[in-house]
Chain A
Amino acid sequence: TQLLEQSPQFLSIQEGENLTVYCNSSSVFSSLQWYRQEPGEGPVLLVTVVTGGEVKKLKRLTFQFGDARKDSSLHITAAQTGDTGLYLCAGVRETSGSRLTFGEGTQLTVNP
């Protein structure tokens, strides 16, 4: 059983559509990060959220940390083909020091 459950696992949409990816857990995290990974490369950090209820925006991407710090969401407005990639959420539990626990990832394909 994954500590962090991401949904959906796969998402294929048309350019210009909106989408939301979810990251859920029964555990509390001191911080949560979102990464994007492109084929043949390692994950690259997009954002870190640390406060319950926090909302961060990165251009067309909006990230939210749940009030109880157990879940997070990533919303993309007007998706573009360049948004295609594997999106990973990762959390730091208060008892795990610096070790990140990763979700399985959401493979997003944006079609022209």
Chain B
Amino acid sequence: NAGVTQTPKFRVLKTGQSMTLLCAQDMNHEYMYWYRQDPGMGLRLIHYSVGEGTTAKGEVPDGYNVSRLKKQNFLLGLESAAPSQTSVYFCASSFRTGARLNYGYTFGSGTRLTVV
């Protein structure tokens, strides 16, 4: 039972390069999320999706795009990477609102991205 799988685990990009972070979940969760984690700032929501084919902006969406073509996959894209996007990126998934949300979010193990 894999849970939430993120690829790659590490990546170094040059300023201006593009890349896509992949997230896959096998728990049939409806909702999926992308967060970034920076020292002293906690986890900040970038984008999220409440179902296949739908996406929405979170707190810090600028410079990122997302797609959810299949229920189990959520992709995060950086079109033109900047040093300010150096961070650890986490994907998470959950059931819908209500009592089932009390099972919490399931997180992947993260992607450490450095932009030089």
Contacts and interface: CB of A to CB of B under 8 A. Distances in A.
Interface in A22-77: 31, 33, 35, 40-45, 48, 50
Interface string A1-26: 01000000100000000000000000
A101 to B, nearest CB: 8
Interface in A72-112: 88, 90, 92, 97-100, 102-105
Contact of B42 (A40, A44, A48, A88): A88
Contact of B107 (A9, A43, A50): A43
B108 to A, nearest CB: 5
Given A42-B107, A45-B103, A45-B105, A102 B43 contact: yes
Interface of A: 2, 9, 31, 33, 35, 40-45, 48, 50, 88, 90, 92, 97-100, 102-105
Interface of B: 4, 31, 33, 35, 40-45, 48, 50, 58, 90, 92, 94, 96-97, 101-110
Q: Sort A-B residue pairs by CB-CB distance and give the 5 closest, nearest first.
A: A42-B107, A45-B104, A104-B42, A102-B43, A48-B102
